[in-house]
Chain A
Amino acid sequence: MIWNEKIECASRDEMRAVQTERLIETVKRIYHNVPSYRQKMQEVGLVPDDIRSVDDLRLLPFTLKTDLRDNYPFGLFTVPMSEIVRIHASSGTTGKPTVVGYTRKDLNNWAEMVTRALCMAGVHRDDIVQVAYGYGLFTGGLGLHYGCENLGASVIPISGGNTDKQLQLMEDFGTTVIACTPSYSLHLGEELKAKGIDKNKLKLRVGIFGAEPWTENMRKEIEASLGIKAIDIYGLSEIMGPGVSCECEHQAGMHVMEDHFIPEIIDPETLQPLPAGEIGELVFTTITKEGIPLLRYRTRDLTRLNYEKCACGRTLVRMEKCKGRSDDMLIIRGVNVFPSQIETVLLEMSETSPHYLIIVEREGNLDSMKLMVEVQEQFFSDEIKQLEALRKKITHKLQSTLGISVDVKLVEPKTIERTAGKAKRVIDNRKL
């Protein structure tokens, strides 16, 4: 079923007309309401009237994650707080979270987008959807939740973790759709096997997986271990949350909700737009958002766009699975981690930052993060209990800053390899 056929199957010209109208309106609103954007536009001699169609998108200034940080917490909101009905946040580059606000209309639009995504995935109102994304500041849980309700499906708002309970409800309630991170779905599959539960006795048929990168091989593994169709959903809180794009049952790229967000692909070095079909950095301009509209937000995700009509009948442009990042952000169990956050924590412990190395592994199917910290003079105590206390302190601090547990290991100086004087900060051993 196609939820909003008029827009999802619109011709290119119709879509361009919708985008142009909304873009012009958005630029005006931002220019008059957000001082930092107005300043950016004035710096390049741009006024709202210069933007006459989607082709003028390339004239607009970019927005970076650091812009959200610099305007922390609410500086980029274009409406008064009385209009904001919900706030979400994700981890920022240096400790301060990236904060986004939604108006009532934003939430309604978001729910509709997730509903469209669910329909793309083949979910319908008779389905029982177990939402195992975290509920809270993270957009995953609540984002999926309201989309399911809007569709009319039955939602089990179980949130993340507690695998035993997940499996129990899956069996007892006859869950037909599971929504979680792809790595967690593999974990569920393993536990299912370990507990001797026959997957054919479950009613599961569709999985909606996102919030972290995954491969076609993982898809095969997930589909086999749970006996389902695994659908990729994409989103980021800065733009909206899950449902920015989603695959249909043909699993041939994720349909972007381009009547709400205009995607562009740019060369991350030259910042120039690339022709359709070329791989580059994905950039979004929001054109309906009221709470925190963003112009040309650089997602740092590398992908490409396909404007051909899909076999499902939709004409919404499709983006490929992301091929990587144009920055050093790591996604671990759905959580964004920047090496700079770890450096900040370590700097709080001593005057000089020690050498450190982040090692990310996928053990079984769960990501784990290990941090090696060189014990240099400023850290070294002659007593075991003090070193243990230091290790615990770093562990706790990282847990509270990043929201995931990190295995901290103290190592000798010069253990961590230096290349040309500069230490390598991250080793990602996950095969993605």
Chain B
Amino acid sequence: MIIKQLSVFLENKTGRLNEVTQILGNAEINMSAFSVADTSEFGILRMIVSDPEKALSILKEAEFSVRLTDVICLNSPNEAGALARALNILSGESVFIEYLYAYSMDDKSANIVLKPDNIQKCIEVLQAHQMELVKASDMYKI
């Protein structure tokens, strides 16, 4: 259930994002989900890639500040109110979400990547409510 997300520290300046994507592309690493959190001075690039360990080591080699973070991915129906239901359950159980990003798979379903404060509890709560979590191996393959 737990997915290894790759996080990279980037300064807000031109060409940096480009460099990361090129390094990963050259190593034949595919990105299945991707998000950038930014402040006025720096940003954090977060992504789910086909081979997290390999991506980690080649980016480290290229001297990026990079780490793997545990996240989970919720597969939810692609319909109005679906995300609200999931978040409602989590807040009802006092699970705090540090950040999330989502993307539609097609018109039927969407994937939501979540970084909760307590990942085990989050998984238990969602499973107890029959929410579908994407397997890590499936996630890396997308």
Name A residues whose Cβ lies closer than 8 Å to a Cβ of B: 374-377, 379-380, 382-384, 387-388, 409-415
Q: How far is the CA of A377 from the CA of B9 in the complex (A)?
A: 10
Interface residues of B in 13-65 (CB under 8 A from A): 16, 37, 39, 41-42, 44, 46, 63-65
Are A382 and B46 in contact, CB atoms less than 8 angstroms apart? yes
Which listed residue (A374, A410, A413) contacts B41, Cβ 8 A? A410
Partner of A409, one of B5, B37, B41, B65: B41
Contact at A412–B44, with CB atoms within 8 Å?
no
User: Which residues of chain A have C-beta atoms less than 8 A from B39's C-beta?
Assistant: 384, 387-388
| Contact B41 A376, beta carbon cutoff 8 Å | no
- Is B98 in contact with A414, judged by CB distance below 8 angstroms? no
Q: Is A377 within 8 A of B65, CB to CB? A: yes
Output the least CB separation between B71 and chain A (Å): 9
- Residue B99 at the A interface, CB < 8 A? yes
Q: Contacts of A375 on B, CB cut-off 8 Å?
A: 9, 42, 65
In the assembled complex, which residues on chain B have CB atoms less than 8 Å from the CB atom of A388? 39
CA A375 to CA B46, docked complex, whole Å = 16
Bound together, the chains give a CA A414 to CA B5 distance in angstroms of 23
Interface majority SS (helix, strand, loop, mixed), chain A: loop
The residue among A377, A380, A382, A415 with the most chain B CB atoms within 10 A of its own CB is A382
Q: Decide: A380 near B9, CB < 8 A? Known: A375-B65, A413-B64, A414-B63.
A: yes
The answer on a CB contact under 8 Å between B9 and A383 is no
Pairs of residues from A and B, 4 with the lowest C-beta to C-beta distance, nearest first: A382-B7, A380-B65, A382-B69, A414-B63
Q: Is the interface of B mostly helix, strand, loop or mixed?
A: strand
Bound CA span A58–B63, Å: 52
Chain B residues within 8 Å of A387, by CB: 9, 39, 42, 44
Query: How many residues on B have C-beta within 8 angstroms of the other chain's C-beta atoms?
Result: 21
Choose from B41, B64, B98 the contact partner of A383 (Cβ within 8 Å): B98
Q: A376-B65, A411-B11, A412-B10 are in contact. List 6 more A-B contacts (CB 8 A).
A: A377-B67, A379-B65, A383-B44, A383-B99, A387-B39, A415-B11
B63 and A384 contacting across the interface, CB-CB below 8 Å: no
Closest to A415 in B: B11
B41 contacts which chain A residues (CB < 8 A)? 409-410
Q: Can you pick out 12 interface pairs between chain A and chain B where the beta carbons lie within 8 Å of each other?
A: A374-B65, A375-B42, A376-B65, A377-B65, A377-B67, A379-B65, A380-B65, A382-B44, A387-B9, A410-B9, A410-B42, A412-B16
Which residue of chain B has the shortest Cβ distance to A383 in the bound complex? B98
Q: Select B64's contact among A410, A411, A412, beta carbons within 8 Å.
A: A412
Contact between B65 and A412, CB atoms less than 8 A apart: yes
- A414 to chain B: which residues have CB within 8 Å? 63
* C-alpha spacing A31/B44, complex, angstroms: 61
- Tell whether, in the assembled complex, residue B65 and residue A413 are in contact, meaning their CB atoms are under 8 Å apart: yes
What residues of A have a CB within 8 angstroms of the CB of B16 in the complex? 412
Docked complex Cα distance between A111 and B10 (Å): 56
Residues of A within 8 A of B66 (CB): 380
Which residue of chain B lies nearest to A412 when distances are taken between CB atoms in the complex? Answer: B11
Kindly provide the distance from the CB of A327 to the nearest chain B CB, expressed in whole angstroms.
31
Bound-state CA distance A146–B63 (Å) is 57
User: Taking the nearest CB of chain A, how far is it from the CB of B60, in angstroms?
Assistant: 8
In whole angstroms, how far apart are the Cα atoms of A204 and B9 in the complex?
53
